[in-house]
């Protein structure tokens, strides 16, 4: 599914079109996405868009009465199109704007979500989330403290939204490789030096991915229809069995937490 950089790129893409506009109405063609779209979403009319933000992999459209929560799921993507644009088969939700355009959610597999969070409340999906990886709350001391309580593989801890949000499978693979840490290493064996390096690498990789437009995934395109470009620079993800760019050792591919995990036995110190 789209990872944090892809969601942030989507936010950057739609924000200029939504800012200072009013939502005239919301048209829903398919209410059964990952969760049933609530009546509150259908009732949004003539509300000004105050802001468009992101929390973890959720987009939040801020309105006076609350926030519209959008999750792209495995195959969802957003586009801003003229209101006269005919709907295609998997165009499930249209948010009509006062500028004559509409924000359209297309979701082939219907694993995305459009939900509502009333003002001054917190939707259950928004609770118990860890810090944002690109902000100051995510730092080495915090990561080290979280890892000391866990004996599970460091890759699984890095992908745990209770520890830090938005470090999905692709970027966890990449970060651990660049930090020289084996993905199966028990988290409670992480050293202070490794934690410092891992936090630094995570921030660098995610920031670079956002700058370059998100990773090219089969089901992802930006709001203007152009794919992202960062996938061309992935060092290990999707390269199991190929040679490591750094040492030419054959990259190994295993399963951790039901997710593909690729690493270099030489660079990541496999015993």
Spatial distance between the Cα atoms of 220 and 209, rounded to a whole number of angstroms: 14
The answer to whether the annotation marks 90 as part of a ligand binding site is yes
Report yes or no: 107 and 113 within 8 Å, Cβ to Cβ: no
Report yes or no: 138 and 162 within 8 Å, Cβ to Cβ: no
The answer to whether the annotation marks 255 as part of a ligand binding site is no
For residue 85, what are the contacts with CB-CB under 8 A and spacing of at least 6?
Answer: 102, 104
The answer to whether the annotation marks 11 as part of a ligand binding site is no
Q: Which of 176, 158, 47, 32 is nearest to 107 (CA)?
A: 32
Q: Which of 115, 102, 128 is nearest to 22 (CA)?
A: 102
Active site residues: 2-3, 57, 259
What single string gives the DSSP state of each residue in 30-54?
--BSSSBPPHHHHT--SEE--EEEE
Q: Which segments are annotated as binding site?
A: 90, 109, 150
Known binding site for DNA: residues?
Answer: 90, 109, 150
């Amino acid at each position: 599914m789209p990872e944090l950089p892809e969601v942030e790129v989507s936010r950057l893409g739609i924000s200029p079109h939504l800012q200072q506009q009013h939502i005239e109405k919301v048209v829903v063609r398919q209410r059964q996405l990952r969760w049933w779209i609530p009546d509150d979403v259908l009732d949004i009319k003539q509300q000004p868009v105050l802001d468009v933000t992101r929390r973890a992999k959720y987009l939040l459209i801020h309105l006076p009465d609350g926030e519209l929560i959008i999750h792209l799921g495995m195959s969802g993507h957003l586009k801003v199109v003229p209101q006269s644009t005919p709907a295609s088969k998997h165009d499930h939700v249209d948010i009509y704007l006062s500028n004559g355009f509409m924000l359209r959610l297309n979701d082939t597999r219907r694993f995305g979500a459009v939900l509502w969070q009333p003002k001054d409340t917190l939707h259950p999906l928004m609770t118990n989330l860890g810090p944002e990886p690109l902000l100051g709350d995510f730092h080495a001391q915090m990561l080290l403290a979280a890892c000391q309580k866990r004996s599970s593989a460091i890759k699984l801890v890095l992908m745990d939204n209770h520890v830090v949000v938005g470090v999905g499978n692709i970027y966890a693979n990449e970060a651990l490789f660049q930090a020289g840490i084996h993905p199966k290493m028990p988290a409670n064996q992480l050293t202070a030096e490794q934690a410092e390096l891992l936090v630094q690498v995570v921030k660098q990789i995610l920031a670079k991915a956002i700058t370059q437009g998100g990773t090219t995934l089969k089901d992802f395109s930006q709001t203007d229809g152009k794919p992202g470009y960062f996938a061309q620079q992935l060092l290990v993800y999707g390269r199991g069995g190929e040679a490591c760019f750094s040492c030419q050792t054959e990259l190994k591919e295993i399963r951790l937490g039901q997710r593909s995990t690729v690493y270099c036995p030489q660079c990541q110190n496999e015993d």
